[in-house]
Every structure is written in structure tokens, then in C-alpha cells.
Chains A and B, each alone.
Chain A
């Protein structure tokens, strides 16, 4: 349990983040993952980042990621 998907942090201010998954952008909190940085691939569940995601393992684990080459190049920006 439960539903969580990998997404990249594209904005980060304090513990408030915006994460991107295939072009969809969701708000998320990084309160549970204080070490998260802009550009990191994280696992998001119920609006919270709960883990960093190993990029190499991600390609072997999630089919959508394995199929999309551009996943590495998700544009990001500093928020504000």
C-alpha cells in the first residue's frame, strides 16, 4: 500500500515543491524528505515526497520511464 509514482522536483521553496511527471505538475511537500533537492527524482504519495528514486533502477522498474527518453530532461526552474 499505496499508490505512489515517481516525479521530478521542478520547483522547491522550503518544503513546498512542484513535481513533474510526464508534463503533469503536482504540488507536493518534502517535509518527510528533507534531503530532497531541486532536480531530484522522488516518489510522491498523497501529496508528499516519501523517497528519493534511484534513476538507473527507475528505468528498470517503471515501464513508462523506460519508454520515455525525455524523462531525463524534464525542464525545471527555481520557484518564485
Chain B
């Protein structure tokens, strides 16, 4: 791979559309992402997708720190968008990748991120087919911002939505909560602590497609990212008009994640996940769904954590606590701060 030998950092000129941009794309970006469509370097990607039922999504990634145990901003950018397509009931087929990079950003870090992007795409059987690169003055982009957009083909006979959710439906999660958020928090400058925590960042399309193709009772899926399980369940409750009851004793949490949350005063229900999804399924299909999850590497700790209930006055999310009490699970404020009290 021929590299530009003169520069070890991004310059504003790398986003100028001239020689340096060309060098950046051909010698740094293409080699990591390596596919025929992208290699054409057309203004638009030509795709052959024969379906009239597509899903389309986009997300931007501004995570800090850029590199964390279990992943980095590159892996996150690929998996996050794949997961939005996956929980919408589609098979992801193509991604775009937009980079906004600060003047002065080190090439070796950029290459590390691009390698992660390439690896994550490859592991999830998807291509980055088009992209864009811009550079901005130092300080204007907090080192690097990434946006990915994705297209997925809807799976046949899959009809999911808030209106499909029924009283009595079970709620399944594919594994432990809080891993990603607590890992990021453990590496934040103001909090930093040593730990074995790992982000759970992973692409979920394979497991969700397997579930949707082999069972017929799934009414809804979502991935509990920012705001954690609490935010996602509250969104579902509000939009469906139904109440939700979950059981604390059935919610999988790693002891290290729980201990870290206890130290800082966080509620694990509100902590972000990047490799988890919840599926709302008919009671008859719950066992089959669990079985499929547990047979997949990303679902070994899957559990039924609760069910959909009738609402009384307003739809609420409630949790049966470990002591058999009941408490409301609120929509989180949106920014979790460590407490001492």
C-alpha cells in the first residue's frame, strides 16, 4: 500500500478536492474498505437491489474517547447503523461513510479507525459503497466525526410496529445491559478508572434476521442505545399506549458493570448498549425466540425480562424489584452525571 510519505497528520488541504484528497482516498481510505462499488469512486454508488421494500437510516458518531475497550468510533459507526436496519426487520445491504476530520488529526489514528470500519463491515457482510471526506480547522470537530447511512432490504412477511404490540407479549433481551456505556464512562477523562469492562459493540443483523426468518410472533424490535433500556421501554410504552412490566431479577447485568454503576450512582437501566436489542414477541413464540438467541454468539445470555400490560390511567414502565417491590422506570434525563449522594 503506497502511502503519502510526507504527511503524518491531516491537513485542511486533504479535504480540498485536489491532489491530497485523491491521495487520502486512494491510499488510506480505499485499501481499508476494499470493494468494487466503492473502487469506482463515482459521485454516486450504483447498486443492484431488487426490492420495493427498503429501509433507510442514518446516524452520526461523536463518541469520546475515540478508542475504548471492545471497539472504537469506526466499529461503532458501522455496527450502530447496521443495528438500526436490523431492528427495523431488514437485511442491511450497503452503507455510506462520511468523515469530518480536524486539521492535525494523526494519520495513524485515522488508519486505525478505517481498519476498524473495514473489519466491522467485512464481519457483518456489508460494503461501504460511497463516502465523503471533509476537513475542518483544528477544534471544530473534536478530532473526528463520522456519519453513516444505510440501506436494508425488508425481510419478506415481516410486519412490525407499535400497533402490532399486544397485551401479554413478552419482552426479550439478548444479553447483559450497560456494558458499552460503563466502558465509555470508565475511560472518560473526568472519571477514568481501570477495569476489565468491554463495550458490547456488535452488528446484530445476523441474529435478528435469524429470529425473523424462523419465527412469526415478533411484533417489535429496538436497540437500546442512548438512554439504555429505560429510554427504549419508555418510548415503546408511550408510542403503543400500553404499559410495560419488567423484572429486575431477570435483567442480565455483569457484576463489574453493576459495581461501577453503584460507585458512581448510575442506574444501569439508563446506560447505553451497542450490541443489544429487545424483541417484543407473542407468548407462544417466546421459547423459540430464546432458543434461537441462545444458539447465537450474541444471544447466549438472552432472557425474557417482562411483558406488555394494559395501561391504567397513563402508560407506564414498571419494574418488579429484587425485593418484590414495584417502582416506575422513568425516561432518563438524557445526561447521566456521577453522584456522591
- Chain A positions near chain B (C-beta within 8 angstroms): 1-3, 5, 18, 21-27, 44-46, 63-64, 67-68
Q: Check B263–A26 contact: CB distance below 8 A.
A: yes
Q: B265-291 interface mask toward A, CB cutoff 8 Å, 1 = contact, 0 = none?
A: 100000000000000000000000000
Q: With A3-B265, A63-B322 given, is the CB distance from A21 to B259 under 8 Å?
A: yes
Q: With A3-B341, A46-B340 given, is the CB distance from A25 to B193 under 8 Å?
A: yes
Contact of A24 among B256, B322, B340 (CB under 8 A): B256
**In the docked arrangement, what's the CA distance between A15 and B162, Å?**
56
The residues of B that contact A44 with a CB separation of less than 8 Å are 263
- Chain B positions near chain A (C-beta within 8 angstroms): 186, 193-197, 255-256, 258-260, 262-265, 322, 339-341
The residues of A that contact B340 with a CB separation of less than 8 Å are 2-3, 45-46
**In the docked arrangement, what's the CA distance between A25 and B259, Å?**
11
Q: Check B193–A26 contact: CB distance below 8 A.
A: yes
Contact of B259 among A18, A46, A64 (CB under 8 A): A64
Minimum distance in angstroms from A75 CB to a CB of chain B = 12
Q: Check B263–A3 contact: CB distance below 8 A.
A: yes
Residue of B nearest to A2 (CB): B341
Q: Check A5–B322 contact: CB distance below 8 A.
A: no
Contact of B194 among A1, A25, A46, A63 (CB under 8 A): A25
Q: Check A24–B341 contact: CB distance below 8 A.
A: no
The residues of A that contact B322 with a CB separation of less than 8 Å are 63
30 contacts between A and B (CB under 8 A): A1-B341, A2-B340, A2-B341, A3-B339, A3-B340, A3-B341, A5-B262, A5-B263, A18-B194, A21-B259, A22-B256, A22-B258, A22-B260, A23-B195, A23-B197, A23-B259, A24-B186, A24-B194, A24-B197, A24-B259, A24-B260, A24-B263, A25-B194, A26-B263, A27-B193, A44-B263, A64-B255, A64-B262, A67-B255, A68-B255
Interface-central residue, B193, B256, B259, B264, by most chain A CB under 10 Å: B259
**In the docked arrangement, what's the CA distance between A46 and B166, Å?**
46
**In the docked arrangement, what's the CA distance between A19 and B322, Å?**
27
**In the docked arrangement, what's the CA distance between A3 and B261, Å?**
11
Residue of A nearest to B262 (CB): A5
Q: Check B193–A24 contact: CB distance below 8 A.
A: yes
Minimum distance in angstroms from B98 CB to a CB of chain A = 36
**In the docked arrangement, what's the CA distance between A2 and B264, Å?**
11
**In the docked arrangement, what's the CA distance between A76 and B258, Å?**
21
Q: Check A23–B262 contact: CB distance below 8 A.
A: no
**In the docked arrangement, what's the CA distance between A68 and B255, Å?**
8
Q: A26-B193, A64-B255 are in contact. List 18 more A-B contacts (CB 8 A).
A: A3-B263, A3-B265, A3-B340, A5-B263, A21-B260, A22-B258, A22-B259, A23-B195, A23-B196, A23-B256, A24-B193, A24-B194, A24-B195, A24-B197, A26-B194, A27-B193, A44-B263, A46-B340
